[in-house]
Structure 1
Amino acid sequence: MKLIVMRHGEAEASNTSDKTRNLTAYGRRQATDAGKWLATVLGNSDISLALVSPYTRTQQTCECLNTVLNIKQKVDVAELVPNAKAYITHVVLDGFLRENPTLDSVILVSHMPLISFLLDELLSNRQASLFDTSSMAIIDYDINTNSGVLKAFYHPCMQQFELK
């Protein structure tokens, strides 16, 4: 199963609440471009499930992705907020995957620092990474072992690469 871990697009610098920060125009372009890259790498534009933080900027990132990808189902997940615990998020994710064994692709749209710690939690070789806005990692994930292997990484300002 393909598991994609993504950080939201660039958000405005300040607002009355971190939860309500909007994407900038650049952040919307970042998210749309990331979605185009993802469709190319996956070989199609279908995503079975999007698990998304309830914060405004992640919701808007998912909306941008959905303009170029076919996201079949979206679920807001409270455990995808910035300071959530990676282990708990991993357990919640595995719960979704066990309840839906036919899913072939799942994208998580969340925040730093959670996604960096979560990547470390999800990979069998413990390979954490820092995520810039709209960066994403594609993981071949095995629900039987509760871990996966990093297959590709996207960064909006650098050349994207696939791992062999």
Structure 2
Amino acid sequence: MKMWILRHGQAEPSAASDAERRLTDTGREEVTDMAGLLAGHGLEAIIASPYRRAQQTAELMRRELGFRRSIITVDWLTPDSDPLAALDELADRVEGEVLLVSHQPLVGQLLSLVVDGHRQRHYPMPTAGLACLEMPLPAAGVADLVSLANPASVRERS
């Protein structure tokens, strides 16, 4: 399985609730910049948190990539979701290549769990940070980290 993990783009600092925070113009630019890294891959599903900024990020990615399927919205990708529970949910999926759109601290904990087998390691995942993992199945400690990119590193390459 190839799993891409994308943290949402930069969001406004406050809203009526955390779940309602929207992407800023900078956040939209960050996500658009990162879309090029996914172009040409065999993405089969985009799975996103229900929070507005994650939904906006997923929709931007979908449009930029010309991905025709609907975004799958799940409640197990919110900021404080349990990464073990997320792995359990992923184990039930049949796709070979997926994009997860979520938040810190979940994205960092999930990366540490699938690569290192625990949640203690810190992986830098700024807004619109994108990790690519390859693994035989969604489980702790079995993934290879193929790449870890952020909008600043993508802009430097252009």
Q: Under a length normalisation based on structure 2, what TM-score does the superposition of the two structures give?
A: 0.87
Shift of the 34–13 alpha-carbon distance from structure 1 to 2, 3 Å rule, reads same
User: What's the counterpart of residue 75 of structure 1?
Assistant: 72
- The yes-or-no answer on 1:58 pairing with 2:54 is yes
Bigger strand fraction:
1
Q: How many residues align?
A: 151
Which secondary structure does the structure 2 equivalent of 1:54 belong to?
A: coil
Q: 1:16 to 1:49 in 2, by over 3 A?
A: same
Which secondary structure does the structure 2 equivalent of 1:116 belong to?
Answer: helix
- Is residue 114–residue 139 contact of structure 2 (8 Å, CA) maintained in 1? no
Deviates more, 1:64-73 or 1:52-61: 64-73
CA RMSD, Structure 1 to Structure 2 (Å): 2.0
TM alignment of 1:126-145, pairs within 5 A: 128-143=122-137
Q: Identify the match of residue 111 of structure 1 among 103, 123, 139.
A: 103
Question: Can you give the 5+ residue segments of structure 1 that lack an aligned partner in the other structure?
Answer: none
The 2-side partners of 1:69 and 1:10 are apart by 20
Structure 2 spans left out of the alignment, 5+ residues: none
How far apart, CA to CA, are the structure 2 residues paired with 1:17 and 1:144?
A: 32
2:77 and 2:102 in contact (8 A); partners too = yes
1:8-157 → structure 2 map (5 Å cutoff) = 8-39=8-39, 44=40, 46-71=42-67, 72-96=69-93, 100=94, 103-124=95-116, 128-143=122-137, 147-157=142-152
Report percent identity of matched pairs.
30
2:30 partner letter? Q
